[in-house]
Amino acid sequence: MRTMKSKTAEKHKQESSDKINCAIITLSDSRSSKEDDESGKYIFDLIENDYTVKSWEIIPDEKENLTDEIEKLISDDVDVILTNGGTGLSPRDITVETVELLFEKKIDGFGELFRAKSYEEIGSAALLSRATAGVYKKTIIFSMPGSPNAVKTAMDIIVDELPHFVHHVQKK
């Protein structure tokens, strides 16, 4: 497949700041330490090279915990929140329902592209993912599954575009 670079997108990237404050939230009922959080560690290691990681928290799969953590991070001037875990179909998976209620704008393309790339990697099991993204109070929230392979797929999609996303979301 041949892709063509967008001159406008490239211009926006050049105008964008790489001084981006990020936060990681791992939702898990079974992991409580960062040593056990392979997905959170992958995100941290990837983004700390180019951006600032202001926070990395592991919280239980509870709607109030997630909402409270998001509000706290936004008040701490975080530009991008990267959640992992809680996007599946089990009764304890509350991430999607929680964040989508907050979104002022949904970034539909993230979930669509994530599932398409996942389908190439794992086949129809990609349908189990409800990865989502959106904007809340000028902060971008990406919610991805908790498996390390899924996090790698998601981060491949978004990490290089973070300045471009922030550029658009924080325009006056």
Going by pLDDT thresholds of 50, 70 and 90, the confidence category of residue 158 is very high
Residue 4 lies inside a defined structural domain of this protein: no
Residue 90 lies inside a defined structural domain of this protein: yes
As a whole-number percent, the residues of the chain with pLDDT over 70 amount to: 92
As a whole-number percent, the residues of the chain with pLDDT over 90 amount to: 83
Boundaries of domain holding 158? 26-32+52-169
Q: What is the model's pLDDT at position 3?
A: 60
Separation CA 52–CA 131 (nearest Å):
23
Separation CA 71–CA 51 (nearest Å):
21
Domain tally, the chain: 1
Residue 10 lies inside a defined structural domain of this protein: no
The DSSP H or E segment spanning 108 is helix 108-122
pLDDT digits (tens, 9 = 90+) for 72-127: 999 999 999 999 999 999 999 999 999 999 999 999 999 999 999 999 999 999 99
pLDDT at 15 exceeding the cut of 70: no
pLDDT at 36 exceeding the cut of 70: yes
Residue 5 lies inside a defined structural domain of this protein: no
CATH code for the domain of 160: 3.40.980.10
Residue 9 lies inside a defined structural domain of this protein: no
**3-class DSSP assignment, residue 17:** coil
Residue 1 lies inside a defined structural domain of this protein: no
Tokens of residue 62, six digits: 């509870």
Average pLDDT, the chain: 92
Residue 112 lies inside a defined structural domain of this protein: yes
Q: What is the model's pLDDT at position 166?
A: 95
pLDDT at 2 exceeding the cut of 60: no
| pTM for this entry | 0.92
Q: What is the model's pLDDT at position 6?
A: 72
Residue 47 lies inside a defined structural domain of this protein: no
Q: What is the model's pLDDT at position 14?
A: 63
**3-class DSSP assignment, residue 94:** coil
pLDDT at 17 exceeding the cut of 80: no
Tokens of residue 84, six digits: 């992992």
Query: Contact 101/40 with Cβ under 8 angstroms?
Result: no
